[in-house]
């Protein structure tokens, strides 16, 4: 049986355009400026077809601001992964982020939109409660922080998946953190492409029905350069990936390995501080840890620049000589000395203006320009010429 559409007939002008598209193909693009975009001539705009809404690419109909939970890191309705070796403190960092979200408290110099959260602590009920208690003692209460500390199979147990969905809706959670993804796999195999696809579909369904950001904690693979453990599709599916590496000194560095519509490579440095919660029946201290934010790590200065890198740096030096920037003094973190710094948006707009990327005056960059911008910014950071933290970038003298 053939099911035919029941939509209204096309307006006369739209019929002509459809005919023209068939006859002329890409030549139609050259006439775009002369084509009217009135609602009468494009009758499908604004209409729904089943669950789908057809929108038109008018300037006033497209959002130009990116909503955020953690600015420059996490946005509503997206997915992210925080991964690191055992002992890298990924759970401590994830709890730090979630507690700050529940309070609306800035972290690492980044703005935060206060939001209810649901944390699934699947690797030890007692330990997760101690860590949450330490956060409350150090930073104050967070009534919007909700957590579950029980084993959950999100791979094949639809009842458990529905229960998490219902809990998220009841708490109005805008962030659901799964600690860890491996513990949520049940009998599934994270290395199997079929099982990996099924888990992604389950998490996507959870994200779609709740509207929440889904953050998963995971381990790196044997080849750390390839990202999180398991099938490679995981890294391709997330909007943000944060890798945590522990130095021999004990300090940890969380580095952005992937960031949708943004520049990766930003690094956040932190350590763990011991919190004493009380004493047990034997008089021994009951302790756990919380995150202590440190200054952003600086690359070793003095590395030789290529000709292209020197040109990019020279353009940035010119930007920092502009009156608005040269007079500015900010602290990317409370512990840093005031310095001249520019925002990522200011950097991008300036580099467009001087012809390094994109077209001057246009906000959006295509994928090639975004990649080129990210590559050169990261090279300058790695060679110790600039510092980056959150939304701020500064020159290193």
Extended strands (E) in 30-141: 48-49, 52-53, 79-84, 117-121
Q: Which domain holds residue 374?
A: 307-395
Whether residues 285 and 311 share a domain: the answer is no
Strand, helix or coil for residue 363: coil
Distance CA 189, CA 234 (A): 13
Whether residues 276 and 311 share a domain: the answer is no
Sheet containing 267-279: order of strands:
145-148, 117-121, 175-179, 213-218, 79-84, 240-246, 252-259, 267-279, 285-293
Whether residues 282 and 176 share a domain: the answer is yes
The reported pLDDT for the residue numbered 154 is 96
Whether residues 131 and 274 share a domain: the answer is yes
Whether residues 245 and 360 share a domain: the answer is no
The reported pLDDT for the residue numbered 360 is 64
In a domain, 51, yes or no: no
In a domain, 52, yes or no: no
Tens-digit pLDDT profile for the chain (397 aa)? 333 334 444 444 444 444 444 434 444 344 444 444 455 677 777 788 988 888 877 655 566 667 899 998 999 999 999 999 888 999 999 999 999 999 999 998 888 999 999 999 998 788 999 999 999 999 999 999 999 999 999 999 999 999 999 999 999 999 999 998 999 999 998 888 899 999 999 999 999 999 999 999 998 765 555 556 556 666 678 999 999 988 777 788 898 888 887 777 788 889 999 999 999 999 999 999 999 998 644 444 446 778 888 889 888 988 988 888 888 888 877 766 788 899 988 998 899 988 888 776 666 788 888 888 888 888 888 787 888 887 888 887 6
CB neighbourhood size of 94 (10 A)? 24
Query: What are residue 169's phi and psi, to 5 degrees?
Result: -70, -40
In a domain, 12, yes or no: no
Whether residues 241 and 373 share a domain: the answer is no
Give the β-pairing of 240-246 and 213-218. unpaired
Whether residues 119 and 145 share a domain: the answer is yes
8 A C-beta contact, residue 244 and residue 92: no
Whether residues 265 and 311 share a domain: the answer is no
Distance CA 94, CA 179 (A): 9
**Unique residue bearing structure tokens 């408290």:** 105
Whether residues 317 and 176 share a domain: the answer is no
Q: Which of 240, 271, 293 is the last residue of a domain?
A: 293
Whether residues 118 and 257 share a domain: the answer is yes
The CATH number of residue 90's host domain is 3.40.50.300
In a domain, 30, yes or no: no
Q: Which of 264, 293, 322 is the last residue of a domain?
A: 293
The CATH number of residue 333's host domain is 1.10.10
The reported pLDDT for the residue numbered 131 is 96
Residues 6+ apart with CB under 8 A from 88: 244, 245, 246, 252
In a domain, 364, yes or no: yes
Q: The whole model's pTM is what?
A: 0.65
Q: Which of 293, 318, 348 is the last residue of a domain?
A: 293
Tokens of 388: 């980056």
CB neighbourhood size of 18 (10 A)? 11
Strand, helix or coil for residue 331: coil
Extended strands (E) in the chain: 48-49, 52-53, 79-84, 117-121, 145-148, 175-179, 213-218, 240-246, 252-259, 267-279, 285-293, 342-343, 386-389, 392-395
Distance CA 113, CA 100 (A): 9
In a domain, 48, yes or no: no
Tokens of 395: 């020159």
Number of structural domains found in the chain: 2
The reported pLDDT for the residue numbered 63 is 62
Q: How far apart are the first and last CA of the chain?
A: 73
Paired residues of 273 in beta bridges: 290
In a domain, 328, yes or no: yes
DSSP 55-72: ----GGGS--S---SBTT
In a domain, 282, yes or no: yes
Whether residues 231 and 334 share a domain: the answer is no
The residue among 92, 86, 175 whose CA lies nearest residue 127 is 92
Whether residues 94 and 201 share a domain: the answer is yes
């Amino acid at each position: 049986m053939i099911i035919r559409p029941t939509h209204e007939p096309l307006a006369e002008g739209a019929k002509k355009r459809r005919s023209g598209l068939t006859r002329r193909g890409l030549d139609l693009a050259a006439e775009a400026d002369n084509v009217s975009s009135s609602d009468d001539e494009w009758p499908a705009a604004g209409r729904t077809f089943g669950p789908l809404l057809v929108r038109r690419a008018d300037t006033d109909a497209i959002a130009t601001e990116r909503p955020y939970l953690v600015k420059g890191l996490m946005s509503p309705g997206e997915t992210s992964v925080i991964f690191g070796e055992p002992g890298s403190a990924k759970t401590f960092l994830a709890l730090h982020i979630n507690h700050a979200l529940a309070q609306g408290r800035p972290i690492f110099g980044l703005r935060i939109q206060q939001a209810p959260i649901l944390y699934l602590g699947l690797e030890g009920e007692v330990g997760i409660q101690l860590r949450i208690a330490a956060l409350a003692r150090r930073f104050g209460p967070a009534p919007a922080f909700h957590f579950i500390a029980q084993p959950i199979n999100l791979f094949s147990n639809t009842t458990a998946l529905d229960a998490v969905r219902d809990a998220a809706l009841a708490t109005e959670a805008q962030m659901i953190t799964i600690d860890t993804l491996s513990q949520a796999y049940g009998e599934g195999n994270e290395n199997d492409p079929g099982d990996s696809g099924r888990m992604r579909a389950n998490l996507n369904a959870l994200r779609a029905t709740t509207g929440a950001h889904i953050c998963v904690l995971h381990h790196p693979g044997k080849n750390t350069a390839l990202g999180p453990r398991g099938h490679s599709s995981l890294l391709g599916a997330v909007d943000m990936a944060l890798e945590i590496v522990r130095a021999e000194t004990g300090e940890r560095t969380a580095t952005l390995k992937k960031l949708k519509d943004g520049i990766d490579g930003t690094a956040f440095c932190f350590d763990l501080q011991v919190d004493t919660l009380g004493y047990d029946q034997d008089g021994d201290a009951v302790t756990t840890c919380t995150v202590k934010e440190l200054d952003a790590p600086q690359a070793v200065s003095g590395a030789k620049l290529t000709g292209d890198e020197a040109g990019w740096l020279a353009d940035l030096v010119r930007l920092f000589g502009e009156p608005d920037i040269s007079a500015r003094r900010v602290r990317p973190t409370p512990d840093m000395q005031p310095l001249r710094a520019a925002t990522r948006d200011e950097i991008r707009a300036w580099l467009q203006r001087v012809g390094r990327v994109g077209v001057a005056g246009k906000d959006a960059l295509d994928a090639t320009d975004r990649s080129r911008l990210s590559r050169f910014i990261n090279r300058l950071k790695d060679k110790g010429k600039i510092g980056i933290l959150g939304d701020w970038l500064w020159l290193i003298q």
